[in-house]
């Protein structure tokens, strides 16, 4: 088991510097253009694919880093470059993780390579879970999957929303209800292969921030997928549903806690994204405060500005520490006895919103214009307290964990 450490080893430093260089030289120069266009930055994704950043191999190497710091380190550097473009680069990972977590070896080997394509033919994938009436309340999901035994096919009907890469993806991973009486325990995940009839893109959202990332509804109308597209297979699903029914009758705490552990383990990565955005805004504000002069001296000499910067840096470092601790705990199998995963996501998300707002204040009128990047960073930061579990949900999880109450 790797010991917790704040010192990156030589390999990690090399990867960090490589990612930082790509973020500085490729992502940042393109950030304003793609934010204004509100379009998928395909040329940037292709550049990332050419050098190996947009690839399954790269993310697998970071995921299996024994210290647990590979993924948060990568997320921080890419999102330091720009949140919208970075989310376009890493968004496929949501679907890939869904297959890795639930699929068979054959499904993993078949579908994940198709999600990425290659440098000459880049593909993306979408993970479709949220619905218009089922965001945080996953038990209210309405998308249904019905098994057609005669044809060994599953028939999917429903509408998904807030899907990153939704509708433009080569492969969609769709979560649907197979047993409505079991609530969230009656869900299963399905692969929808390319060009499957009945799947279409609904509304594409015009967003406040992360505008270079494609976000849309996915409409499923009598979408038929082969039986082998049920992640994990039907035998495994039937066994899981049977266990869930038994536990539902006798009290299902163990199931809830296991599900909670899965969610907790994924949240530090979002926290790392928020740290990257906060750090970027802080660095712009620091540089501006050092060079902007008023009344014959740099504005950083004014205590009101200097203290803001001191608080900003302290909060960013504290957020990173929480993210790294939770990431290390998840990798080494340490139990989240105090909802440390939710703590890291909550604090880092709120820090990003606060720090980017302070950066605008330090830049004054300039910070309010699109000539400086902090305006965009502030818009981008708003998403961190919303997606992958709102700040209110994180507080609820933490409070119920501390009190011993069940987490539904």
- pLDDT confidence of residue 135: 65
Alpha-carbon distance of 304 to 151, in angstroms, equals 70
Q: Which residue has the higher pLDDT, 257 or 10?
A: 10
Give me 235's structure tokens: 């035998």
Please compute the mean of the pLDDT values over residues 146-155 and round it to a whole number. 97
The rounded mean pLDDT for the chain is 92
Write the DSSP assignment of 148-186 as a string of letters.
Answer: ETTTTEEEEEEEEEEEETTTT-SEEEEEEES-GGGGGGG
- pLDDT confidence of residue 136: 64
Q: Which residue has the higher pLDDT, 11 or 5?
A: 11
Of the segments 90-99, 234-243, 352-361, which one has the largest average pLDDT value? 352-361
Alpha-carbon distance of 368 to 79, in angstroms, equals 21
Query: 171-177 and 125-128: which strand pairing?
Result: parallel
Q: In the block, which residue shows the tokens 């619905």? A: 131
Whether the per-residue pLDDT at 245 is higher than 90: the answer is no
- pLDDT confidence of residue 251: 59
Give me 209's structure tokens: 């921030």
Alpha-carbon distance of 235 to 238, in angstroms, equals 5
- pLDDT confidence of residue 253: 47
- pLDDT confidence of residue 257: 36
8 A C-beta contact, residue 187 and residue 158: no
Structure confidence by residue, pLDDT tens digits, 293-342? 999 999 999 999 999 999 999 999 999 999 999 999 999 989 888 999 99
Please compute the mean of the pLDDT values over residues 103-112 and round it to a whole number. 95
- pLDDT confidence of residue 255: 43
Please compute the mean of the pLDDT values over residues 346-355 and round it to a whole number. 98
- pLDDT confidence of residue 177: 94
- pLDDT confidence of residue 149: 95
Q: Which of 37-41, 68-72, 99-103, 144-148 has the least mean pLDDT? A: 99-103
- pLDDT confidence of residue 261: 44
**Residues shown for the chain:** 408
- pLDDT confidence of residue 185: 85
Structure confidence by residue, pLDDT tens digits, 115-133? 999 989 999 999 999 998 8
- pLDDT confidence of residue 17: 98
Q: Which of 52-66, 275-289, 373-387 has the least mean pLDDT? A: 52-66
- pLDDT confidence of residue 262: 46
Whether the per-residue pLDDT at 139 is higher than 60: the answer is yes
- pLDDT confidence of residue 23: 98
Structure confidence by residue, pLDDT tens digits, 42-61? 999 999 999 999 998 999 89
- pLDDT confidence of residue 260: 43
Please compute the mean of the pLDDT values over residues 16-45 and round it to a whole number. 98
Percentage of the chain exceeding pLDDT 70: 94
Structure confidence by residue, pLDDT tens digits, 175-203? 999 998 888 789 999 999 999 999 999 99
Alpha-carbon distance of 21 to 5, in angstroms, equals 24
pTM: 0.92
Q: Which residues are annotated as catalytic?
A: 388
- pLDDT confidence of residue 341: 93
Whether the per-residue pLDDT at 138 is higher than 60: the answer is yes
393: CB partners within 8 A, 6+ apart: 136
Alpha-carbon distance of 355 to 377, in angstroms, equals 10
Q: Which of 78-92, 172-186, 365-379 has the least mean pLDDT? A: 172-186
Structure confidence by residue, pLDDT tens digits, 258-268? 334 445 567 89
Q: Which residue has the higher pLDDT, 404 or 89?
A: 89
């Amino acid at each position: 088991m790797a010991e917790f450490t704040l010192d990156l080893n030589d390999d990690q430093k090399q990867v960090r510097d490589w990612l930082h260089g790509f973020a500085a030289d490729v992502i940042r120069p393109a950030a304003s253009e793609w934010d204004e266009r509100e379009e998928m930055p395909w040329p940037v994704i292709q550049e990332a694919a050419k050098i190996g950043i947009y690839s399954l191999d790269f993310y697998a190497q970071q995921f299996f880093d024994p210290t647990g710091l590979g993924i948060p380190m990568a997320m921080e550097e890419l999102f330091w470059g720009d949140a919208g473009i970075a989310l376009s680069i890493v968004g496929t990972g949501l679907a890939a993780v869904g297959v890795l977590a639930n699929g068979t070896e054959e499904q993993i080997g078949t579908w994940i390579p198709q999600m990425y394509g290659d440098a000459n033919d880049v593909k993306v994938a979408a993970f479709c879970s949220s619905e218009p009436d089922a965001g945080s309340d996953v038990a209210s999901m309405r998308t249904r999957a019905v098994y057609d035994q005669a044809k060994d096919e599953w028939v999917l009907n429903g509408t998904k929303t807030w899907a990153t890469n939704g509708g433009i993806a080569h492969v969609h991973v769709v979560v649907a209800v197979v047993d409505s009486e079991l609530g969230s325990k009656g869900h299963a995940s399905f692969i929808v292969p390319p060009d499957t009839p009945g799947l279409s893109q609904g509304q594409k959202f015009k967003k406040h921030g992360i505008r270079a990332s494609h976000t849309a509804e996915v409409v499923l109308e009598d979408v038929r997928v082969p039986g082998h597209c049920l992640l994990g297979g039907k035998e495994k699903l039937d066994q899981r549903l049977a266990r869930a029914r038994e536990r539902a009758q006798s009290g299902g705490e163990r199931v809830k806690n296991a599900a909670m552990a899965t969610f907790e383990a994924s949240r530090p990565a979002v926290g790392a994204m928020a740290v990257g955005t906060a750090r970027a805004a802080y660095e712009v504000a620091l540089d501006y405060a050092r060079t902007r002069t008023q009344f014959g001296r740099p504005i950083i000499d004014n205590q009101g500005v200097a203290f803001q910067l001191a608080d900003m840096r302290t909060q960013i470092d504290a957020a990173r520490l929480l993210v790294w601790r939770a990431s290390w705990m998840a990798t080494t199998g340490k139990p989240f006895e105090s909802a440390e995963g939710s703590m890291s996501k909550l604090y880092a998300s709120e820090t990003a919103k606060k720090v980017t707002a302070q950066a605008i204040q330090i830049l004054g009128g300039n910070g309010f214009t699109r000539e400086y990047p902090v305006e965009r960073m502030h818009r981008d930061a708003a998403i961190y307290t919303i997606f992958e579990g709102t700040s209110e949900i994180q507080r609820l999880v933490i409070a119920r964990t501390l009190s011993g109450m069940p987490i539904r």
